[in-house]
């Protein structure tokens, strides 16, 4: 089981099952909602994710996608999209042990900042995995 939460400790979660789609997302929306050059995420079935403390604040970053974050410290925790309602994406950096879920690829490299080096270390996709 994986555990994690926000910086201030107000929101805590547990993840059961094996994470999939471990990625560094370089899309402009992830960048702007976190203030970071990219965000590392993993996906799990929604049924394998459980909030154990606190209630995150919800922000609709697009009409079909929402992000949840701690309303006290601002840590982004969760991303959900209507097109994949069976899965939830969790920020790897919010894990208690982020080393346990290293990224397996880079996605949305079409939006990558020029000064960010990926050095070809991981498989790379201009958009999502499915779009290539």
DSSP 5-69: E-SSSS-EEEE-S--EEEEEE--HHHHHHHTSS-EEEEEEEGGGEEEEE---EEEEEETTEEEEE
In the chain (132 residues long), the average pLDDT of successive 10-residue segments reads 98 96 95 94 97 97 94 97 92 98 95 88 78 54
Strands, sheet with 20-25, edge to edge from the N-terminal-most edge strand: 57-62, 65-69, 76-81, 87-91, 39-45, 20-25, 105-107
- CA 22 remoteness from chain centre: 9
- CA 30 remoteness from chain centre: 8
For residue 131, is it within any domain?
Answer: no
Q: How many domains does the chain have?
A: 1
Q: What is the pTM of this model?
A: 0.91
Do the beta carbons of residue 125 and residue 105 sit within 8 Å?
yes
For residue 80, is it within any domain?
Answer: yes
For residue 29, is it within any domain?
Answer: no
For residue 121, is it within any domain?
Answer: no
Domain that holds residue 88: 2-18+40-100
Query: What does the pLDDT read at residue 121?
Result: 85
For residue 116, is it within any domain?
Answer: no
For residue 87, is it within any domain?
Answer: yes
DSSP label at residue 119: T
For residue 14, is it within any domain?
Answer: yes
């Amino acid at each position: 089981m994986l555990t994690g939460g926000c910086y201030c400790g107000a929101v805590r979660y547990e993840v059961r099952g094996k994470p999939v789609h471990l990625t560094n997302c370089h899309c402009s929306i992830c960048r702007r909602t976190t203030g970071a050059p990219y965000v590392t995420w993993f996906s799990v079935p929604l049924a394998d994710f459980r909030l154990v403390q606190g209630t995150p604040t919800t922000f609709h970053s697009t009409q079909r996608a929402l992000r949840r974050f701690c309303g006290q410290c601002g840590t982004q925790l969760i991303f959900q999209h209507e097109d994949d309602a069976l899965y939830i994406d969790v920020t790897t950096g919010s894990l208690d042990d982020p080393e346990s879920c290293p990224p397996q690829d880079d996605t949305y490299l079409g939006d990558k900042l020029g000064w960010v080096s990926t050095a070809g270390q991981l498989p790379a996709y201009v958009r999502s995995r499915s779009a290539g």
